């Protein structure tokens, strides 16, 4: 019987990040870049970050970009 191949994780739904890879984990807890509390999680650039904090930061960045776009469109 052939070995089952593991399927790719699903694409993020509703803007949620998928951190199923072990690359997002470190044995050493360091302060989160957003809230300062300790975390073993690492973002895609290996900076310490809670998943929830990173998702919140993405929402804030998107809101800022929309605000800038609307301001420029009104000029």
CA distance 28 to 16: 24
Given a cut of 70, whether residue 69 has pLDDT beyond it is: yes
Given a cut of 70, whether residue 3 has pLDDT beyond it is: no
Q: CA neighbours within 13 Å on the CB side: how many for 23? A: 7
CA distance 54 to 50: 6
pTM, entire model:
0.69
Look at 3 and 54; give whichever has higher pLDDT: 54
| Cβ 34 vs Cβ 54: under 8 Å | yes
Residue labelled with tokens 């072990």: 22
Boundaries of every domain in the chain: 22-74
| Cβ 23 vs Cβ 43: under 8 Å | no
pLDDT digits (tens, 9 = 90+) for 6-64: 555 555 556 677 888 899 999 999 999 999 999 999 998 999 999 999 989 988 988 88
């Amino acid at each position: 019987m052939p070995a089952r191949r593991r399927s790719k994780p699903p694409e993020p739904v509703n803007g949620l990040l998928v951190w199923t890879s072990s690359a997002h984990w470190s044995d050493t807890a360091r302060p989160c870049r957003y809230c300062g509390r300790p975390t073993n999680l690492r973002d895609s650039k290996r900076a310490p970050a809670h998943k929830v904090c990173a998702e919140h930061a993405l929402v804030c960045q998107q809101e800022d970009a929309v605000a800038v776009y609307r301001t420029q469109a009104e000029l």
